[in-house]
Amino acid sequence: DTGVSQDPRHKITKRGQNVTFRCDPISEHNRLYWYRQTLGQGPEFLTYFQNEAQLEKSRLLSDRFSAERPKGSFSTLEIQRTEQGDSAMYLCATSDGGAKVVTQYFGPGTRLLVL
């Protein structure tokens, strides 16, 4: 257990519905990342927060996706009007930006299945 928690661990939804995932970081970590992992592939970067500021978004993050990190603590990732292609594991990772080597610690992920 890295100390990064994600909720829910599993989500099944119907196409067209909205879903929201939550990530709680290690308390002293100011950097937070979202990645998406499809079956048989490595995680792909989606977006990055430093404290409450969203500083980078991947082109993978379509306008149906939105992420927030109010007050620089937990983060949420919302997918609107889900599509079957959104089915994947959504991973959150956090790191201490003040460390000499910025190691990312991953949570257990939220597995999304869109029917």
Partner 1 sequence: QQQVKQSPQSLIVQKGGISIINCAYENTAFDYFPWYQQFPGKGPALLIAIRPDVSEKKEGRFTISFNKSAKQFSLHIMDSQPGDSATYFCAASMNYGGATNKLIFGTGTLLAVQP
- Give the amino acid at 22: R
Inter-residue contact 20 to 77 (CB < 8 Å)? yes
The site map against partner 1 for 85-114 (x = CB under 8 A) is ------x-x-x-----xxxxxxxxx-x---
Please give the structure tokens belonging to residue 104: 């990312």
Task: Find residue 32's DSSP bridge partners.
Answer: 49, 94
Using the rule CB under 8 A, is 75 a contact of partner 1? Answer: no
| Residue 82 within binding range of partner 1, rule CB under 8 A | no
Q: Is 25 in the site for partner 1 (CB under 8 A)?
A: no
Taking CB under 8 A as the binding criterion, the range among 14-22, 44-52, 61-69, 72-80 that sits at the site for partner 1 is 44-52
Sequence-separated (6 or more) residues with CB below 8 Å from residue 97: 29, 30, 31, 50
Site residues (vs partner 1, CB under 8 A): 2, 4, 31, 33, 35, 40-45, 48, 55-56, 91, 93, 95, 101-109, 111
